[in-house]
Structure 1
Amino acid sequence: MRILVIGGGGREHAFVTAIHNSSKTTKIYCIPGNPGIAALAECISLDSSNPAILCQFAMEHAIDLTVVGPEVCLAAGVVDAFQKQGLKIFGPTRAAAELESSKTYAKELMKKYAIPTANYEVFTDAAAAKKYIECQGAPIVIKADGLAAGKGVVVAQTIVEACQAVDSMLADAAFGDAGSRVVIEECLVGQEASVLAFTDGYTIQPMVASQDHKRVFDGDEGPNTGGMGTYAPAPVVTTERMQWITQHVLQPTIDAMRAEGRLYSGCLYAGLMITEQGPKVIEFNARFGDPETQVVLPLLKTDFITVMEHCIEGTLQELDVEWNNGACVCVVLASGGYPGSYEQGLEITGLDDLLPETYVFHAGTAKQGDKLVTAGGRVLGVTSQAANLKQAVNKVYQEVPKIHFKDCHYRTDIAAKAFQK
């Protein structure tokens, strides 16, 4: 099969790796790709946010299956465009992807269908929002309604900080149109977990649960990022808890979307807080998470292409999706200063010194002549797989220090929560 992957980050590098390992694959294209992906696929420099351009490429190159990475492509309607031309594509339509592209829509859906989530209110007026915050107190969570590349969420510890976040989004337009409406919700307490699931719009098949680390510094300190590392499986999601999440969150959500006339097919990502009252939804994503994909896909035993085909064809109930035993840990190497301002174009060395079985997923890299250089905030996702979580942690932290670039920053406590009693 001729496969097209849309996107150019660590998530897409993980896609390409899994697709490359499939016996069904004959050729992989990636738009736009990155230097890491280029070792396994032909990278094409086209506008990945333009559905018409992507559709034309797929038709001209006889693409058998396309998989979408970034949420902006889904929100732009790339799946709709491909489906209109009769092209196979893995991912939800634009209407279904609103589950991620509008936090307001997601919260209203959960409220209507009794899917457990935090209490909330929605505001477009800064004064009204701040008045609400003063009544509710802190800590409290402020979210930009639209897509903000993982940075539109502020967990404010004080009323002052919360009001500053409101001003930043509503008055100063820090996130443009994405922040023209804000969701203010109660601050849930507990451990976070990410549960991704394959779905054809009717059947749900959960993936191995993982736990992301959003804060930039050890001990969950500092500002939120797009993700500083992750591990799977996450022991906070027990077998019984996964059954509960499937029954009370995942299945009701796709049933609700279908009832609303928005059949949801692809990957459904539930970001959860495991509270004393039980799991509650923090957010939904309409695609694979990054860096969660970098630890979940290496554990997938069933052929990745086969699973995607069943989702597209509406036959997922006929497939038993299997997973490998063991564990995966991913540590993100970031540019110094991220998620704020940072230097780019810094040479990366040491990749040739890693153990052969180490996955190095490129997220923000570029080529300058023969040199590999930094080209983003999150630069590399270094992932190790082992028989158990402790071994995977030890392996990855033996490999990470071998990689060098100026001001390289990474967390040293990825997966530490898994070992807390």
Structure 2
Amino acid sequence: MKVLIVGSGGREHAIAWRVSQSPLVEKIFCAPGNGGTEKENKCENIKIEKINELAEFAKKEEIKLTIVGPEAPLVDGIVDAFKENNLKIFGPSKKAAALEGSKIVAKDFMKKYGIKSAEYAVFYEREKALTYIEHCSYPTVIKADGLAAGKGVIICQNKKEAEEAINSFMLQDIFNGAGLKIVIEEFLEGVEASILSITDGNTIIPFISSKDHKQIFDGDKGPNTGGMGVIAPNPYCSEEVLNSFEKDILEPTLKGIKEEKMDYVGTIFFGLMITKKGVYLLEYNVRMGDPETQAVLSLMESDYAEIMLKALDNTLEECEIKWKQGSACCVTAVSEGYPGKYKKGLKITDMDKVENKIFIAGAQIKEEKLLTSGGRVLSVVSVGDSLEEAREKAYRDIEKVSFQGMYYRKDIGKIKSI
């Protein structure tokens, strides 16, 4: 069959790489793709991004499976548009995608269905938010309601920081409308975990757990990024943690999806916080995480394309997903200045010296050279029998790659006690 993958990041490169290994798949179109997907087996990049044009292309090429990588097209209703054209597409409906598209919708859903999560308050007016922070406890968490490319969450240590966050969201409008409504949330202390899952609306099957490292600097310092690296499985996800996740979060989420008649066939990503008081849900994402996808799919043994087709056929209940033993470590290289301003068009060299898999995120091929085009440029992913082995292999490889101003964290996968 022919497959269409929508998106242009490292996540989409990893999905294309994994799906290309399926004997069911003969051709993959990546829209628009990047310098990594351009060279991947069975793949071809196409310069189409508008939803109606993608649907027309899928009809013309007789695409049997469309996979949506990023959240924005899902929130914009790409799944509804494809279904109106009788096209098979893997992803939630526009209504279901609001679980990521609006923090307010997500928090209200969690509250309604008794899902274990932090206490919160919602604000539509800046003055009311500023009054609230006069008396709330610190640290506190301020979240933009809408999509903010993984950067719309600020942990504020005091009233001054909270005031600055509220003003930047609601007055300066740094997220172009996404922060005009906000959630102020109880701060939870602990260790984060990412659990990517697949659902057909009747069954949710969790994937192997992972741990993202969001902040730019070693020791989890500095501003949040889209993700600086990942390990899988997450060493903090004990059997007790996973049982608690299933009972307090996964099961009531599935109940809510059914009762709200959400038309949810796709990925559901649970962002968790493991605390001394238990396991809490921080957020939903309605697509695969980036860079979690790169690590998690590197450990998947089952045919990912076949699993997605089973979800679309509503037969996930009979599906068992197989995983490799061992661990994966993903280290992300970013442009100097990221997550702020950074240069583009820098030549990437010595990738041929790398022994493990490189997933391209922000780079394009021009005149047969691979040039940087984004903040997160590439990730090296290695698999080992142990986390230590996977870390060692990933760092040995990333040291070989080079572009001007390249930066990466040196502590991805270092374990500390809760």
TM-score range, shorter chain: over 0.9
CA drift at 1:248:
1.9
Is residue 148–residue 178 contact of structure 1 (8 Å, CA) maintained in 2?
Answer: yes
Instruction: Report the equivalent of 1:398.
Output: 396
**Secondary structure in structure 1 of the residue aligned to 2:94:** coil
**Secondary structure in structure 2 of the residue aligned to 1:114:** coil
Instruction: Report the equivalent of 2:162.
Output: 162
Is residue 196–residue 268 contact of structure 2 (8 Å, CA) maintained in 1?
Answer: yes
Aligned 1:258-277 pairs, distance under 5 A: 258-277=258-277
Amino acid at match of 1:44: I
Distance 1:133 1:258 in 2: 36
2:79 matches 1:79: yes
Distance 1:81 1:239 in 2: 40
CA drift at 1:3:
0.7
Distance 2:361 2:305 in 1: 22
List, as ranges, runs of 4+ consecutive aligned residues in structure 1 with deviation greater than 3 Å: none
**Secondary structure in structure 2 of the residue aligned to 1:177:** coil
CA drift at 1:420:
4.6
Instruction: Report the equivalent of 2:366.
Output: 368
Is residue 241–residue 274 contact of structure 2 (8 Å, CA) maintained in 1?
Answer: no
Instruction: Report the equivalent of 1:381.
Output: 379
Distance 1:288 1:58 in 2: 22
CA drift at 1:255:
1.7
Instruction: Report the equivalent of 1:202.
Output: 202
Identity %: 45
Distance 1:300 1:412 in 2: 26
Distance 1:370 1:21 in 2: 25
**Secondary structure in structure 2 of the residue aligned to 1:416:** coil
**Secondary structure in structure 1 of the residue aligned to 2:245:** helix
2:106 matches 1:96: no
CA drift at 1:239:
2.3
Is residue 254–residue 264 contact of structure 1 (8 Å, CA) maintained in 2?
Answer: no
CA deviation digits over 1:132-170, x for unaligned, max 9? 112113211111000011111111122111110000111
RMSD after superposition? 1.1
The alignment covers a number of residue pairs equal to 416
2:22 matches 1:22: yes
Counterpart selection for 1:42 from 36, 44, 64: 44
Instruction: Report the equivalent of 2:350.
Output: 350
Amino acid at match of 2:14: A
2:254 matches 1:224: no
Distance 1:191 1:54 in 2: 39
Instruction: Report the equivalent of 1:179.
Output: 179
CA deviation digits over 1:3-37, x for unaligned, max 9? 11110100000000101111111111110001110
Is residue 213–residue 227 contact of structure 2 (8 Å, CA) maintained in 1?
Answer: yes
Is residue 254–residue 263 contact of structure 1 (8 Å, CA) maintained in 2?
Answer: no
Amino acid at match of 1:396: A
Aligned 1:89-128 pairs, distance under 5 A: 89-128=89-128
**Secondary structure in structure 2 of the residue aligned to 1:273:** strand
Amino acid at match of 2:393: K
Distance 1:202 1:290 in 2: 26
Once the two structures are overlaid, the 10-residue window that deviates more, 386-395 or 125-134, is 125-134
Instruction: Report the equivalent of 1:10.
Output: 10
Instruction: Report the equivalent of 1:410.
Output: 408
**Secondary structure in structure 2 of the residue aligned to 1:95:** helix
Distance 1:244 1:221 in 2: 29
Amino acid at match of 1:376: G
Amino acid at match of 1:280: Y
CA drift at 1:229:
0.4
CA deviation digits over 1:25-78, x for unaligned, max 9? 11111100011101121100112xx22111101000010111100100101111
Distance 2:194 2:155 in 1: 18
Is residue 346–residue 404 contact of structure 2 (8 Å, CA) maintained in 1?
Answer: yes
Instruction: Report the equivalent of 2:341.
Output: 341
Is residue 126–residue 170 contact of structure 2 (8 Å, CA) maintained in 1?
Answer: yes
Is residue 137–residue 159 contact of structure 1 (8 Å, CA) maintained in 2?
Answer: no
Is residue 193–residue 272 contact of structure 1 (8 Å, CA) maintained in 2?
Answer: yes
Amino acid at match of 1:177: G
Distance 2:33 2:365 in 1: 12
Distance 1:96 1:51 in 2: 18
Distance 2:321 2:365 in 1: 37
Distance 1:243 1:381 in 2: 31
